[in-house]
Structure 1
């Protein structure tokens, strides 16, 4: 049942309603009448009616504003509203992608799954935009650009221009390494698909720790105090046993000892990126993106190298040895 109502002025003035129905019954508040109107009916409210009740199969009822009952000013307003509401649309055919999902009946492959996301709307379109940008970065060569007057002789050489690729910087936070996304980052470093990596300290230590021990799935709602009493640490919904950090300490302290000795005897100058490269070399584990970055000569930058468990290890190492110096102003 749809009840048509209005304000006091409408009740007094007897507002006209246009009612689109199949069948309906109307009443002034008493029992329903027996009369069945045609498919389209006009009802008139008078001042004594409390409401007009419409019993219908469907669909829409709304006030009908009759332009001829208004003055010139009101009519102009109504015409303006109508011109806005019913304004002709500009055709988007051929200029914008149509919204359409993937048809799984055609079989599944990466292209068929990912390409339709561009026309799926909402955030899915942003993924397609990102894929297109990444593909442009991978495909770009200096030879795609015109030779300009300020190009050097080498830069004018077609062979050289074809060899110059886009330099790709990959940046990420530590939680991605704690999660399974680490394996994707490892793949990128393994296949030289990035040229420079920038990350946080957690992005360094978590890669090493996951080579030494496993990380487990928990739940976001697990209470930190209760976990701590059991020697467990929570990263989002990931659980890292304290034993993992103990294994990390046992592994890294001897390496710091070696680096400290090289600092004393060979005057080695350690920077964050050189320390990270050394750790990538020492871990010698193909599941580590740091190991592949070292093998493929991909620099990994992390100026705030002490901001994490790695900083704790450096601090603990400083007591018996006097300190391993890492210069954050050099080589970064």
Structure 2
């Protein structure tokens, strides 16, 4: 059996050294982080490895969005499999800010102020549904004028291209997905605010189609 060893951290310990020590720490999550780091290293060194990143939308409402963006920007992955909410949060945070909160905040009081709580992230009404509705419909209309039928990942690329001149576009995942032609697949493309806007537009424009 392999013994559990204590972490030994100094002011000069690097992240690489810390993760290496995690592999010796045993128990709970530390050893899993070290194992994951080795898997990622092997994936990156294997030129024949097709790398798919799968993640939920909620982390895109946090600073973790920047890590995903950089993976796409630096071509460290080949495709993303996620939910519609990823597109929602990615676009909403380009136009408006989300805010830091607490899991213990009173939802009734927040509701009276027009603020939604996503875990410990605060999302005012004007920073999500309202800003998406105002900005997505003109983009959809423009894209529809040029093409009637879209696959989901190509439509996301088209959105990435459409926002390229927006302030903060380079902070988004979808901009870099378009730029580097990394597909983003959504098994449930209508299950979110972005998808709801597509559906709303389709109500009056029946020749606008998603090819699933």
- What is the TM-score with the length of structure 1 in the denominator? 0.59
* Aligned match of 1:187: 70
* Aligned match of 1:260: 144
RMSD between aligned residues? 1.7
Unpaired segments of 5 or more residues in structure 2?
none
* Aligned match of 1:17: none
Q: Distance in 2 between matches of 1:216 and 1:307?
A: 24
Residue 184 of structure 2 is aligned to residue 279 of structure 1: no
Q: Distance in 2 between matches of 1:326 and 1:225?
A: 38
Unpaired segments of 5 or more residues in structure 1?
1-91, 142-164
Q: Distance in 1 between matches of 2:158 and 2:22?
A: 41
- TM-superposition CA deviations, 1:83-122 (whole Å, max 9, x none): xxxxxxxxx5xxx3651312315x1322222211111121
Q: Distance in 2 between matches of 1:102 and 1:240?
A: 40
Structure number with the bigger relative contact order (C-alpha 8 A, sep ≥ 6) is 2
2:150 match: secondary structure: coil
* Aligned match of 2:182: 298
For residues 1-332 of structure 1, what are the structure 2 equivalents within 5 Å?
A: 92=1, 96=2, 98-104=4-10, 107-122=12-27, 123-141=29-47, 165-244=48-127, 245-263=129-147, 268-284=148-164, 285-322=169-206, 324-328=208-212
* Aligned match of 1:34: none
Rg comparison, structure with higher value: 1
Q: Distance in 1 between matches of 2:6 and 2:52?
A: 33
> Would you say how many aligned residue pairs link Structure 1 and Structure 2?
206
Q: Distance in 2 between matches of 1:327 and 1:294?
A: 19
Q: 1:102 to 1:283 in 2, by over 3 A?
A: farther
Q: 1:295 to 1:302 in 2, by over 3 A?
A: same
Q: Shift of the alpha carbon at 1:258?
A: 1.4
Q: Shift of the alpha carbon at 1:320?
A: 4.2
- Larger fraction in helix: 2
1:170 match: secondary structure: strand
CA contact (8 A) 2:149 2:208 kept: no
Q: Distance in 1 between matches of 2:202 and 2:149?
A: 17
CA contact (8 A) 1:102 1:112 kept: no
Q: Distance in 2 between matches of 1:227 and 1:269?
A: 41
CA contact (8 A) 1:178 1:215 kept: yes
- TM-superposition CA deviations, 1:27-65 (whole Å, max 9, x none): xxxxxxxxxxxxxxxxxxxxxxxxxxxxxxxxxxxxxxx
Q: Distance in 2 between matches of 1:320 and 1:137?
A: 46
Q: Distance in 2 between matches of 1:312 and 1:139?
A: 40
